[in-house]
Structure 1
Amino acid sequence: MFAAAVLFAFALVVALVARWLKARRLRLPPGPPPDPFIGNLRQMAFTNQEQMFESWGKTYVWAGTRFSATCPTASVPEHRRLIQDHFNQQAILAYRPLQRLETCTLLLGLLQKPEAFIRHVRRFSAGTIMKITYGHTVKSMDELYVRLAEDAAHETVSAGSPGSMLVDFFPALKFLPAWMPGAGFKRHALKTRVKVRRMLDIPFKMVQRTMAAGTAIPSFVSDLIIANESDSKHKQYEEEDIKGAAGVLYGAATDTTSALLISFFLAMTLHPDVLRKAQAEIEEKVGPDRLPDFEDRDSLPYVDSIVKEVYRAMTRSEDMYTDPHTFYPERFMNQDSQTAEMTDPKNVVFGFGRRLCPGKFFGDANIWLVVASVLAAFDITKRRNDRGEEIPPLVDYASGFVSNEAAQVPKLDVSNEGLASMKYDAMGPLVVNSDGTVSRITNWPNMTELERERTMKVLIARNKLRLAKQDADDPSSTPLSMAGSAGEASK
């Protein structure tokens, strides 16, 4: 045992010396002076690394310098190619009815249980991408497929940011046996691998089963499986690539979308003047009788500026943005075309070049529609204690692979009477028509409770019949009446 320990220590010293000598030969960017053998390990922060890198950037990097880094793997280009075909600017137009439906379902959830707004936001994020990726309708965050993805994401994120473990600096440590003291990182990695494997395999097998039974709803995964089966001799895609691309889709869309939308709620709670200005713009350009739609985006520049400012809050470059730690949507108003392109945070937060997020256009459209709809439907204010005093919201972002905020629940109130009558009278008055537009039951206010109950039963029954027919005729295009969708989602 002693001989083995000595041999391991000797091998570790050799690896450290070799790493140090190699590092001395590399043309590295300027930074804090490294220590012999261990490099910058002592200076590295294991949490809130973005603050550390911001400070280093001011100290060691001259203005105008740009660096890029890549981590090439064989699977990444293939995953990107599979996703790109389904999420380019033209392809995402087919998803608009689903985005409208899921947005309306989110609004109803916020209206009925505003105290659970984070859960509603997470269900929206999961429901939209799960339907597109696997053809599965998410009715609850407690469903198996959602739990599998949440567990895998939690384990991955809990590992911390790159550079938060010793093995990131000393790769040779990965050869330690999992049972050995100090190898907790490896035990965690093995546990995470099992959960990620389940997240990739189980939903994929669900799609295979429904396809075999003839009940599958067209989806990203089913389309790729069909493409493979069309040529029995030469598969276009490896099964592992399909699983991996589907897993990347879900993982990339849920946590990021949720974090952005919760940050939006927090920003509106802290900046009521921004909220009021956006609502005035919507009132003028859209009016009180409907919700904003995708076609309204160009006529709502201030709402678009709010979305950009939520994105920009992820970047704090003083070279690019004046007073970057202040939430100020007006910075994006009345810009000339060149300045608008240079300062558009979408050019940064969705990645660059070959690492550009292939779901950029879909994700941006999703965020915009929710932000515009929430602004049109709700007032967002600080909560009050028993004495009527405002409770300052907690602004505390947790450090990690995806930085989420520990947000307190804001107070949500319906912002105008027209939308109140459409939404507050439960699911009956708000109906999403077959073309994705929103309308109301005009005689609802004059109905008795019994008549309302009967109307709801008829709407839900009619919706189920229409669903069955549309699934048989064209399963890919089914904007539902809100009566059916919200009723089923709440079960």
Structure 2
Amino acid sequence: MSLQASVFYTALLVSLVYWRWRSYKRRRGLPLPPGPKGWPIIGNVYDIPHDHAWLTYAQWGKTFGDIIYMDVFGTETIVLNSLQAAIELLEKRSANYTDRPDMIMANDLMEWGWDFAHMRHSEWWRRHRKTFHQYFQPRAITSFQPVQEAATFTLLNQFLDSPSRFAAHVRQHSGSVVLKLVYGYDVKAEDDYYVALADEAIHGLGQAVHAGSFYVDFLPILRHVPAWVPGAGFQLQAKIWAKSSHALRDTPFNVVKKEISQGIAIPSFVTENLEKMDSSDNVQEGQEEIIKNCAGISYLAGSDTTVSVILTWILAMMHNPAIQAKAYAELESIVGNSRFPCFDDRSKLPYLEAVLSETLRWNPVTPLGSLNFYGVYIPFADQYRTALPHRAIAEDVYEGYYIPAGATVTPNTWAIFHDEALYPEPFKFKPERFLPEDSKHMPPDPAVSGAFGFGRRICPGRHLAVNSAWIAIASILSTFEIRKPVDATGKEVDIPIEYTDGLVSHPVPFHPRLLPRSQAAVNLIRAAKDDSFAA
């Protein structure tokens, strides 16, 4: 071993011992939350689940309780398995849990630091959130409805023309809504460049934070390891993935700026905010960068989360024909069969609303909002996950347990939504739970109890996402019947309910039959397509 390598690994060992000593030193005599015992120095490296971590953490909750402690090389993580704990810490004490831990691989090496969902709590983060919220706030949502309806008409036509590609069509639908609202861009085809760009960026980020663990976030010193050192190939890979990050953020934004200069830009989030900035006499430094960053994360996040909701709903309807029939009967009684559902119908469709709530609960889009620690790949630490994490700014105490300053704190949304005390028979798809005869027994609404996060870090685009999912679900239900596939003999084939691991969890690819409900439904869909072309 060279002298340089010997010095480096000696410094690494000293750092590990110091961090371990520091973690024991600062407990103030109070116990840490219970959790797997772990090993000296390396902690819980061998205990971390390799996939679908939320299931393991929920199982651990039966042994250790609602709050679980783990650490790897002194990096401390606390998992909250109950709604009570999540609300107490992340909502009621949100001022202490608004921060994010450092994400060296993603933010620094892959250059995703522009994504304000990853940013540390700061004035810079607050300016991003304010800019985003002012455009996507609830009272502005109604102005987006024509875009969402037009995208849904395209989706229905694609279901008619190529139902076997339904998942790709759903992805295009979600991407087209966001691209239109954020950049004024009309998606032209299924293989649209911008939709593919978002997929590429999501893939790169997903590979970094989900496909394996990299230790640079445990041991920040590793960021300085040259790429030629054995095990440091992450440095080269990070540079490749960084290109997607920059392309996602910069390419559509620069196109809109050019269109503005030519006087041909379509109104959008970017144009509205750039024009507001240009007309202001008191523009803060960095405002254009904030607009570009907010547009980029809208484009990325909006291209994936709504997809999971719609696909989960299709999977649920395929497995629950009686629920599908009941929801359709309610829809038909209000809408009939001579027009499409519209947003004005929503308040008159309580059962369909309950179906949407149950979809959000049954298999949540972000079971942990999962991100894992990343850096140098170590096989035995594969898939070490926390949530899109909160960070304790100051030390705290909960239920007699000590929470160290700097600890990552993550809610296990999957465990919360499958808590039998809150949602009896949690593994059943049961919309009726959100329509109790006695309002006192109404379970927590998933949309405000974890589906989109907690506290000051709750997803600011949640209202847009829910509306996009609702109009798509209502329109598909009004025109198509969703059934299981059949084999060569015509017998229905049972499809397992399985979900992918990752930041956003999707149903494992499946193949439903999408059958038009009638010729009238087909004519309605085709007429909507012709009208959109005429417009």
Q: TM-score range by the shorter chain?
A: 0.7 to 0.9
Deviations 1:44-63 (A, max 9, x none): 12321111221222221247
Deviations 1:417-468 (A, max 9, x none): 4323323xxx3x336xxxxxxxxxxxxxxxxxxxxxxxxxxx6xxxxxxxxx
Maintained 8 Å contact 1:266/1:407: no
Give the stretch that moved more between structures: 23-32 or 136-145.
Answer: 23-32
Corresponding position of 1:48 = 52
Corresponding position of 1:470 = none
Maintained 8 Å contact 2:250/2:292: yes
Maintained 8 Å contact 1:228/1:235: no
- What is the percentage of aligned positions where both structures have the same residue? 34
Gaps of 5+ in 2: 67-81, 91-96, 101-119, 365-416
Give the match's secondary structure for 1:399.
coil
Question: Residues of 1 paired with 2:205 and 2:121: CA distance?
Answer: 18
Question: Residues of 1 paired with 2:442 and 2:467: CA distance?
Answer: 18
Alignment partner of 1:21 is 2:21: yes
Maintained 8 Å contact 2:484/2:492: yes
2:128 maps to which of 72, 76, 79: 79
Question: Residues of 1 paired with 2:39 and 2:60: CA distance?
Answer: 17
Maintained 8 Å contact 2:423/2:443: no
Corresponding position of 1:145 = 194
Equivalent runs, 1:37-436 vs 2, <5 Å: 37-62=41-66, 64-66=84-86, 67-68=89-90, 69=97, 70-71=99-100, 72-74=120-122, 75-161=124-210, 164-231=213-280, 234-235=283-284, 237-313=286-362, 314=364, 315-334=417-436, 336-337=438-439, 339-340=441-442, 342-423=444-525, 427=526, 429-430=527-528
TM-score, with normalisation over the residues of structure 2? 0.76
Question: Residues of 1 paired with 2:350 and 2:239: CA distance?
Answer: 48
Query: How much does 1:85 deviate?
Result: 0.3
Q: Quickly say closer, same or farther: Cα 1:194–1:346, change in 2 above 3 A.
A: same
Query: How much does 1:399 deviate?
Result: 0.9
Deviations 1:81-124 (A, max 9, x none): 11100111111111111111111111111111111101110110
Give the letter for the 1:135 counterpart. Answer: G
Give the match's secondary structure for 2:466.
helix
Question: Residues of 1 paired with 2:35 and 2:212: CA distance?
Answer: 16
Deviations 1:226-267 (A, max 9, x none): 122224773465332222111111111111111111111111
Question: Residues of 2 paired with 1:134 and 1:92: CA distance?
Answer: 16
Give the letter for the 1:430 counterpart. Answer: A
Question: Residues of 1 paired with 2:421 and 2:215: CA distance?
Answer: 33
Query: How much does 1:335 deviate?
Result: 5.2
Q: Quickly say closer, same or farther: Cα 1:97–1:345, change in 2 above 3 A.
A: closer
Question: Residues of 2 paired with 1:267 and 1:12: CA distance?
Answer: 50
Give the letter for the 1:251 counterpart. Answer: L
Q: Quickly say closer, same or farther: Cα 1:338–1:159, change in 2 above 3 A.
A: farther
Maintained 8 Å contact 1:224/1:237: no
- Which structure dedicates a bigger proportion of its chain to helix? 1
Q: Quickly say closer, same or farther: Cα 1:47–1:171, change in 2 above 3 A.
A: farther
Question: Residues of 1 paired with 2:42 and 2:479: CA distance?
Answer: 55
Q: Quickly say closer, same or farther: Cα 1:103–1:295, change in 2 above 3 A.
A: same
Question: Residues of 1 paired with 2:211 and 2:26: CA distance?
Answer: 20
Give the match's secondary structure for 1:325.
coil
Give the match's secondary structure for 2:209.
coil
Maintained 8 Å contact 1:393/1:407: no
Gaps of 5+ in 1: 432-458, 460-480, 486-491
Question: Residues of 1 paired with 2:212 and 2:432: CA distance?
Answer: 36
Cα RMSD (Å) of the superposition?
2.2
Give the match's secondary structure for 2:481.
strand
Maintained 8 Å contact 2:339/2:524: no
Query: How much does 1:182 deviate?
Result: 1.1
Give the letter for the 1:145 counterpart. Answer: Y
Maintained 8 Å contact 2:302/2:465: yes
Give the letter for the 1:155 counterpart. Answer: G
